[in-house]
Amino acid sequence: GLSDRLQETIKKIRGKGKVSEADVKQMTREVRLALLEADVNFKVVKDFINRVKERAIGQEVLKSLTPGQQVIKIVQDELAGLMGGEQSKIQFSPKPPTVIMLVGLQGAGKTTTTGKLANYIRKANNKNPLLVAADVYRPAAIKQLQTLGGQLSMPVFTMGDKESPVTIAKEAIKKAKEDHHDIVFIDTAGRLHVDDTLMEELEEIKAVTDPNEIFLVVDAMTGQDAVNVAESFNERLNITGAILTKLDGDTRGGAALSVKAVTGTPIKFVGMGEKLDALEPFHPERMASRILGMGDVLSLIEKAQANVDAEKAKEMEKKLRTMSFTFDDFLEQIGQVRNMGPLEDLLAMMPGAGKLKGLKDAKIDDKKIGQIEAIIRSMTPLEKSDPDIISASRKKRIALGSGTTIQDVNRLLKQFKDMKKMMKQFMGNTKGKKRKNPFN
């Protein structure tokens, strides 16, 4: 696929001691395709590529000791720069309540994001939010917000579906002042397409509530369309930021780049799931890596390829998958891992590993690896393949034989167990997803 080709090119260029103009051209060609495939607007791509070329062929790179890496860094820097700095700060009103209005197409994630954002800001900024149900067109919309409010123990202001959203919004602000809410989140209606009636309504809500922020909620999976949507909403409402939802899906997130580049509006947050805590501040560097489809995974692949015998790694993976992984395998893997650098670093690079519980407990101190090897070598073959049989007296024998303590033996047994558990989780996590197997 395309990202494979890009990774090939990047890999080739990364190691180069000298980068020619032809190398840069090939690289930018692949980057260009990757961006287009990631749904970045073509005008944005063109400008971007020109800037990268200029810098990459310039002095900056020629003088560098590692020109290959320098070129890659330029690409990532420029991409991150395009998306702006970290922008998760909210404009709070000096005179409460702060009003935040969420707008966007139907299904973009407005209602969900209203709950998530209120939850986030309540925690991060110690605020007391009021949620406002101003979508009166979909019968379930009010109920949906009320359910979220219930889950968050957060009050929801509604007037049913008989009043106009403009009236509801106006009354909600009054209510917020009465009840001393210092921040108000207005969940508005969406349509399947940008339409004039809706825009007029949103303009009116804006006029009566004077919001400090108008966030456009965009579904990251809508790709190119996101740009047109952002432009339309921005023209009518002057949005102050965008929130990109559903980034937990397969999308590359190129829409993020286009939205920022085309409307000049920063991405403030990203939605990473349906749960109420699945909202994160936007990180431009991470998004840059994601769009290019490389990032940490690439360096992991490089490391693994350079140091691990591919056949062995495959076999190992199969064992992990089937849970027939034994201490003998562990020992062998320790040898291989030793050549790759700290195990912790390696685990940290695995996609999804950051989310794994138990990663900390499974961490293996490099200095202790010698000790671990000694303990494993003191086990009998049966003990190695079935550690469950290791009784107290066996532990004592193993400790003596390896010059360690029973606590050391216990710790290793626990680490081994945790590692198996973690690997199982890891295999489960990535199964079926379009992720690169680092050991393939």
Q: Which does 125 bind (CB under 5 to 8 A by kind): ligand GDP, Mg ion, none?
A: none
- The pattern of x and - marking residues 159 through 198 that bind ligand GDP according to CB under 6 A reads -------------------------------x--------
At residue 156, φ and ψ (nearest 5 deg) are -120, 125
107: contact with ligand GDP by CB under 6 A? yes
Among 253, 271, 293, 387, binds ligand GDP (CB under 6 A): 271
Closer to ligand GDP by Cβ: residue 27 or 291: 291
Contacts of 146 (CB under 8 A, 6+ apart): 133, 156, 158
Q: Which does 109 bind (CB under 5 to 8 A by kind): Mg ion, ligand GDP, none?
A: ligand GDP
Residues in the chain: 440
Residue 95 is labelled as binding a ligand: no
- CA 325 to chain CA mean position, Å: 31
Going by C-alpha positions, the residue among 218, 222, 202 that lies closest to residue 267 is: 218
118: part of which helix (H) or strand (E)? Answer: helix 110-125
Residue 216, beta-bridge partner list = 103, 242
254: contact with ligand GDP by CB under 6 A? no
Cα three-residue angle 316-322-323, rounded to 5 degrees = 80
CA dihedral sign, ordered 364, 368, 374, 378? negative
Helix, strand, coil percentages for the chain (3-state, nearest 5): 60, 10, 30
Helices 327-340 and 295-307 meet at what angle, rounded to 10?
Answer: 110
Q: How far is the CB of 192 from ligand GDP (least distance, A)?
A: 10
Residue 209 is labelled as binding a ligand: no
For 439, other C-beta atoms within 10 Å of its C-beta total: 17
Among 274, 277, 309, 386, binds ligand GDP (CB under 6 A): 274
Q: How far is the CB of 162 from ligand GDP (least distance, A)?
A: 20
Q: Which does 274 bind (CB under 5 to 8 A by kind): ligand GDP, Mg ion, none?
A: ligand GDP
Cα–Cα distance, 64 to 139 (Å, whole number): 62
* Chain position carrying tokens 């999976």: 221
Among 86, 204, 225, 248, binds ligand GDP (CB under 6 A): 248
Residue 245 is labelled as binding a ligand: yes
402: contact with ligand GDP by CB under 6 A? no
Among 7, 245, 265, 402, binds ligand GDP (CB under 6 A): 245
Among 67, 68, 97, 104, binds ligand GDP (CB under 6 A): 104
In contact, 233 and 225? CB cutoff 8 Å:
no
Site for ligand GDP in 215-244 (CB under 6 A): 217
Residue 430 is labelled as binding a ligand: no
251: contact with ligand GDP by CB under 6 A? no
106: contact with ligand GDP by CB under 6 A? yes
Closer to Mg ion by Cβ: residue 187 or 408: 187
Closer to Mg ion by Cβ: residue 84 or 107: 107
DSSP state of 97: P
Q: How far is the CB of 28 from ligand GDP (least distance, A)?
A: 32
Closer to ligand GDP by Cβ: residue 245 or 333: 245
Site for ligand GDP in 108-127 (CB under 6 A): 108-112
290: contact with ligand GDP by CB under 6 A? no
Coil, strand or helix at 92: coil
- CA 69 to chain CA mean position, Å: 24
Closer to Mg ion by Cβ: residue 42 or 137: 137
What residue ranges bind Mg ion (CB under 5 A)? 110-111, 141
At residue 157, φ and ψ (nearest 5 deg) are -90, 125
246: contact with ligand GDP by CB under 6 A? yes
Closer to Mg ion by Cβ: residue 217 or 227: 217
CA dihedral sign, ordered 172, 174, 177, 183? positive
| Greatest Cα pair distance in the chain | 81
Q: How far is the CB of 423 from ligand GDP (least distance, A)?
A: 26
Contacts of 255 (CB under 8 A, 6+ apart): 39, 218, 220, 222, 223, 224, 226, 227, 244
Q: What's the number of CA atoms in the CB half-sphere (13 Å) around residue 209?
A: 38
DSSP state of 108: S
Q: How far is the CB of 297 from Mg ion (least distance, A)?
A: 34
- CA 271 to chain CA mean position, Å: 9
Q: Judged by CB under 6 A, how many residues of this single chain contact ligand GDP?
A: 18
Q: Which does 112 bind (CB under 5 to 8 A by kind): ligand GDP, Mg ion, none?
A: ligand GDP
The structure tokens listed for 312 are: 């062995």
Q: How far is the CB of 181 from Mg ion (least distance, A)?
A: 21
Q: Which residues are annotated as a binding site for GTP?
A: 104-111, 187-191, 245-248
For binding to ligand GDP (CB under 6 A), which residues are involved? Answer: 104, 106-112, 190, 217, 245-246, 248, 271-274, 278
Q: Which residues are annotated as a binding site?
A: 104-111, 187-191, 245-248
